[in-house]
C-alpha cells in the first residue's frame, strides 16, 4: 500500500518519475474509482487523453461481462481489505479493442488515520507476451500430439540418470510397455543382459555427452523378452545455461528390413554360386570335349599299334597306356556329368531295387567297419533316370561316406516319394519326385567346405586319393535329369546327401528310354564300305580313318560340313560319320541337309555332348566319344542294319 509523501520536493520527483514512464499505465483513482491522474504510458496503450478520462470511472477499461460481474468494485474492495490486488485479464482500449493486461492496485492510506484516500493503479500491456506464450503452448501441444501420434518410432526422454520420463505411442507399440509400466524405470531395461553387463547403456549416455549424439544399430528387447534389431539415436537436452538435463531418444524397429536384407544377400549369394557353377560347367564341358577328342586319337592309335607288336615288354607298356587312357575316359565322363553334357540313357528306375542289387558290391567296397542300413517304402515310385549313372552316383556317395568314417560308422541309404509345390525348400518345379538319401555318421563338413563341395576338382582327400569330381558328377547328373542335389552337413555329426529325381510317368518314361536307348547289337560282319568321315580335328579324323581302314573300309576324309557336301555330290558314299561341334556348319546341320538330299544314306553322329539342339540327329545313330574300335565297328553295323530294315519296310 502507498502512503502520501510529505514535502513538495519529494512529490515533484514522484510526479516526474511517473510522467516519464511510457511502458506502464500509472494513474490514481479516488475512493469511488474515479480517475484523478493519467500518465503518458496510460495515454499510449489505452488511447485516452487526460481530459477524456480524468473524472471518469476506471470501470470503463473493463469488458462488459466483467462490469456486469462487478469485477471493478471487487478489485477496489480487495485492494482496500487485503492491501493489494493483482491480476491478469482482458481490458478495453478507447477504440474498443481488447488487450491483455497485468493489473496491480494498491490502496493509498492516510498516514495518520489509515483511511483510504484513493488507489494507485499500475497496468501493463502483456498482449504480445501472452500471444507468444500461447503460440508456444500451441506449438508445444502440436509437438506433443505429433510425438504421441508417431507409431513407427519410439520417441521418449530420459533424465540425466537414464530414467524414462515420458513415452509415446510408437514406444508402446515397438517395445510393448504402457507409460505407467515404464516411466520412472531405467532405459537399460531395453538392453540384453550381456549388453548391460558390458556397460553398453552407460557408454551410450557418455558418447551422447562427449560427442553431442549417439547413433547405433543393435539388438534390443521388448517387454515380452523378444529381441528386435533397432536403430537408436540419442541426443542430450541442455537448459539455458548449457547444462545437460536429460536425453531425447529415438528408436526404430528395423527387424523386418534386416530380414529382407539378409534374404536378399542370401539370394545374391545363391545367384553368385549358380553363376559360378554354370561358368565352371561351361569351362569343364569345353575341356572335357577337347580331352575327349585327344583320347579318341590316343585310344585308336594304341589299339592299332598293339596289334602290330609282339614284344612282351612293349605290349606291357602299351597296355599300361591303354589303362591310362581308360582312366582318362572315366575322368572326362565325370567332367561331362558335372557340366550336364553327358549322354544319358533315360528309363524308369526302381531305386530300391537298384540299391538292393548293389548290396554285395557296396559292402565289399566299404569294408567291415561300415554298417549299411537301407530304408525304402513299399510304395516307392520309379524315378526317371539313367540306371548306370545313378548306380555310379550312389557308389561315389558311398565312397565319400566311407572316407568320412575312417574309424567305422553307419551308412544309411533310403528313399521317399515327394510332392513339390510352390515355395518348397528344394526349389524345383512343381511335380512328383523320388528322393534318394545317403547319410553317414562321419566327420561332417564345416560351412566353408560345404559351400565348395560340389565344385569340380575340389577335394578334402589327400593327393592322389580323389579327383574332386565325385560330388560334382552327381550334381551334374541330377540337374541334367531335371532334379537336384541337396547337401546337409554338420561338422562332427555327419553328412546327408539327397538326390531328387523326377518320378517316372509310366509310358512317357518308357518312350523316352526307348528314344535314348543305344542301338541293339547287330551282326558285325559288314561288307567293305565307302565311308565319308567328317571332323574338324585332324587328330580325331586321322584316328577314325585308321580304325575304319583297319576294319577293311575305304575312307574319304572331310574337315568341314561344306567339304563333306562337296564329296557327296561327286562320290558314291555308303555311310557318313560326322562330328557335331564344327565351325560354320555343325554336324546336326550337315545331317539335316543330307537327310533332304540323300535320305537313304546311313549316318552316325560321333560326339561327346548330350545337349544337342532340339531335333538334331533325330533318328540318327549316335557314337559317344571317346570310342574304342569295337564301339565304332558296332555303330557301323547298326547303321547299315537300320538302312536294310528301312529299305525292307
CA 201 vs. chain centroid, Å, equals 31
Question: Three cell numbers at 83?
Answer: 492491501
Report helix, strand or coil for 123: strand
1 has pLDDT over 60: no
pLDDT of residue 129: 86
Chain mean pLDDT for the chain: 81
Q: CA-to-CA distance for 454 and 475, rounded, in angstroms?
A: 7
> Once rounded to an integer, what is the mean pLDDT over residues 595-620?
74
pLDDT tens string 157-186: 999 999 999 888 888 899 999 999 999 999
Of the pLDDT bands very low, low, confident and very high (cuts 50, 70, 90), residue 393 is confident
Residue 83 DSSP one-character state: S
Residue 573 DSSP one-character state: -
405 has pLDDT over 50: yes
Q: Are 373 and 411 in contact (CB under 8 A)?
A: yes
> Once rounded to an integer, what is the mean pLDDT over residues 239-251?
89
pLDDT tens string 250-308: 999 999 988 888 888 877 776 776 665 566 555 555 555 666 667 777 777 777 777 77
Phi, psi of 93 (to 5 degrees): -80, 175
Q: Are 328 and 299 in contact (CB under 8 A)?
A: no
> Once rounded to an integer, what is the mean pLDDT over residues 37-54?
91
Among the residue ranges 29-43, 381-395, 466-480, 559-573, the one predicted with the least confidence is 466-480
CA distances from 626 to 161, 298, 543, 599 (A): 82, 9, 11, 28
Question: Three cell numbers at 19?
Answer: 510522467
pLDDT of residue 138: 73
Q: Are 627 and 606 in contact (CB under 8 A)?
A: yes
Of the pLDDT bands very low, low, confident and very high (cuts 50, 70, 90), residue 139 is low
Per DSSP, which regions of 42-162 are E strands?
85-92, 98-109, 116-125, 153-159
Most confident range (mean pLDDT) of 323-332, 540-549, 550-559, 628-637 is 550-559
Question: Three cell numbers at 180?
Answer: 505407467
Among the residue ranges 154-163, 195-204, 342-351, the one predicted with the least confidence is 342-351
Report helix, strand or coil for 395: helix
CA distances from 6 to 11, 105, 111, 356, 505 (A): 7, 22, 10, 132, 126
Of the pLDDT bands very low, low, confident and very high (cuts 50, 70, 90), residue 104 is very high
pLDDT of residue 416: 93
pLDDT of residue 340: 47
Q: CA-to-CA distance for 26 and 6, rounded, in angstroms?
A: 20
Quick check: bond before 626 cis, omega within 30? Answer: yes
Percent of the chain residues topping a pLDDT of 70: 78
> Once rounded to an integer, what is the mean pLDDT over residues 400-406?
87
pLDDT of residue 519: 40
Report helix, strand or coil for 515: helix
Of the pLDDT bands very low, low, confident and very high (cuts 50, 70, 90), residue 518 is very low
> Once rounded to an integer, what is the mean pLDDT over residues 222-232?
94
Of the pLDDT bands very low, low, confident and very high (cuts 50, 70, 90), residue 17 is low
Of the pLDDT bands very low, low, confident and very high (cuts 50, 70, 90), residue 215 is very high
CA proximity to 311, closest of 300, 303, 319: 319
pLDDT of residue 60: 93
CA 182 vs. chain centroid, Å, equals 36
Q: CA-to-CA distance for 372 and 359, rounded, in angstroms?
A: 9
Burial class (CB within 10 angstroms; exposed 0-12, middle 13-18, buried 19+) of 466: middle
Cα Rg, the chain, nearest whole Å: 51
pLDDT of residue 365: 78
pLDDT of residue 226: 94
Q: CA-to-CA distance for 626 and 619, rounded, in angstroms?
A: 21
pLDDT tens string 425-439: 788 888 999 999 999
Per DSSP, which regions of 269-364 are E strands?
347-349
At 455, which helix (H) or strand (E)? none
> Once rounded to an integer, what is the mean pLDDT over residues 507-517?
36
pLDDT of residue 508: 37
> Once rounded to an integer, what is the mean pLDDT over residues 401-422?
90
Report helix, strand or coil for 412: strand
pLDDT of residue 479: 81
Amino acid at each position: 500500500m502507498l502512503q502520501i509523501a510529505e514535502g513538495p520536493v519529494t512529490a515533484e520527483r514522484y510526479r516526474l518519475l511517473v510522467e516519464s514512464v511510457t511502458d506502464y499505465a500509472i494513474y490514481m483513482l479516488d475512493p469511488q474509482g474515479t480517475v484523478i491522474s493519467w500518465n503518458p504510458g496510460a495515454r499510449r496503450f489505452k488511447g485516452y487523453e487526460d481530459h477524456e478520462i480524468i473524472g471518469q470511472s476506471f470501470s470503463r477499461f473493463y469488458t462488459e461481462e466483467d462490469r456486469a460481474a462487478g469485477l471493478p468494485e471487487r478489485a477496489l474492495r480487495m485492494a482496500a481489505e487485503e492491501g493489494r490486488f493483482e491480476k491478469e485479464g482482458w481490458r478495453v482500449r478507447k477504440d474498443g479493442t481488447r488487450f491483455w493486461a497485468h493489473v496491480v492496485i494498491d490502496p493509498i492510506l492516510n498516514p495518520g488515520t489509515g483511511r483510504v484516500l484513493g488507489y494507485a493503479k499500475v497496468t501493463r500491456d502483456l498482449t504480445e507476451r501472452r500471444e507468444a506464450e500461447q503460440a508456444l503452448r500451441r506449438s508445444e501441444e502440436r509437438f506433443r500430439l505429433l510425438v504421441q501420434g508417431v507409431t513407427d518410432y519410439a520417441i521418449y526422454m530420459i533424465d540425466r540418470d537414464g530414467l524414462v520420463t515420458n513415452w509415446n505411442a510408437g514406444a508402446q507399440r515397438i517395445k510393448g510397455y504402457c507409460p505407467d509400466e515404464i516411466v520412472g524405470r531405467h532405459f537399460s531395461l531395453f538392453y540384453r543382459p550381456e549388453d548391460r553387463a558390458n556397460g553398453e547403456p552407460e557408454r551410450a549416455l557418455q558418447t551422447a555427452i562427449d560427442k553431442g549424439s549417439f547413433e547405433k544399430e543393435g539388438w534390443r528387447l521388448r517387454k515380452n523378452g523378444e529381441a528386435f534389431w533397432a536403430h537408436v539415436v540419442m541426443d542430450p537436452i541442455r537448459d539455458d545455461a548449457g547444462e545437460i538435463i536429460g536425453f531425447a531418444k529415438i528408436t526404430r524397429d528395423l527387424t523386418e528390413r534386416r530380414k529382407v536384407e539378409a534374404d536378399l544377400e542370401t539370394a545374391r549369394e545363391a545367384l553368385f554360386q549358380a553363376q559360378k557353377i554354370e561358368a565352371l560347367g561351361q569351362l569343364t564341358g569345353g575341356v572335357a570335349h577337347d580331352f575327349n577328342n585327344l583320347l579318341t586319337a590316343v585310344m585308336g592309335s594304341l589299339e592299332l599299334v598293339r596289334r602290330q607288336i609282339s614284344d612282351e615288354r612293349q605290349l606291357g607298356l602299351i597296355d599300361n597306356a591303354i589303362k591310362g587312357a581308360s582312366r582318362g575316359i572315366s575322368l572326362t565322363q565325370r567332367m561331362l556329368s558335372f557340366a550336364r553334357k553327358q549322354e544319358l540313357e533315360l528309363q524308369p528306375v526302381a531305386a530300391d531295387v537298384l540299391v538292393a542289387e548293389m548290396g554285395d558290391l557296396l559292402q565289399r567296397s566299404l569294408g567291415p567297419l561300415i554298417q549299411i542300413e537301407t530304408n525304402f517304402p513299399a510304395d516307392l515310385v520309379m524315378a526317371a533316370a539313367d540306371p548306370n549313372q545313378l548306380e555310379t552316383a550312389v557308389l561315389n556317395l558311398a565312397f565319400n561316406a566311407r572316407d568320412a568314417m575312417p574309424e567305422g560308422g553307419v551308412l544309411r541309404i533310403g528313399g521317399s516319394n515327394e510332392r513339390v509345390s510352390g515355395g518348397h525348400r528344394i526349389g524345383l518345379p512343381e511335380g512328383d519326385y523320388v528322393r534318394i538319401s545317403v547319410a553317414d555318421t562321419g566327420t561332417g563338413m564345416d560351412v566353408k567346405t560345404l559351400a565348395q563341395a560340389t565344385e569340380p576338382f575340389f577335394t578334402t582327400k589327400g593327393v592322389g586319393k580323389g579327383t574332386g569330381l565325385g560330388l560334382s558328377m552327381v550334381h551334374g547328373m541330377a540337374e541334367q535329369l531335371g532334379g537336384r542335389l541337396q547337401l546337409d552337413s554338420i561338422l562332427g555329426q555327419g553328412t546327408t546327401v539327397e538326390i531328387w529325381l523326377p518320378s517316372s510317368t509310366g509310358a512317357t518314361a518308357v518312350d523316352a528310354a526307348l528314344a535314348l536307348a543305344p542301338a541293339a547289337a547287330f551282326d558285325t560282319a559288314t561288307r567293305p564300305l565307302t565311308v565319308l568321315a567328317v571332323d574338324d580335328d585332324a587328330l580325331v579324323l586321322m584316328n577314325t580313318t585308321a580304325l575304319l581302314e583297319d576294319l577293311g573300309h575305304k575312307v574319304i576324309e572331310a574337315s568341314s560340313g561344306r567339304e563333306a557336301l562337296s564329296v557327296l555330290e561327286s562320290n558314291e558314299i555308303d555311310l557318313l560319320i560326322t562330328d557335331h561341334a564344327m565351325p560354320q556348319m555343325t554336324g546336326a546341320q550337315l545331317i539335316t541337309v543330307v537327310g533332304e538330299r540323300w535320305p537313304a544314306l546311313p549316318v552316325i553322329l560321333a560326339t561327346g555332348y548330350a545337349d544337342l539342339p532340339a531335333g538334331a540327329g533325330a533318328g540318327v545313330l549316335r557314337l559317344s566319344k571317346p570310342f574304342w574300335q569295337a564301339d565304332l565297328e558296332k555303330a557301323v553295323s547298326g547303321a547299315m542294319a537300320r538302312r536294310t530294315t528301312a529299305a525292307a519296310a
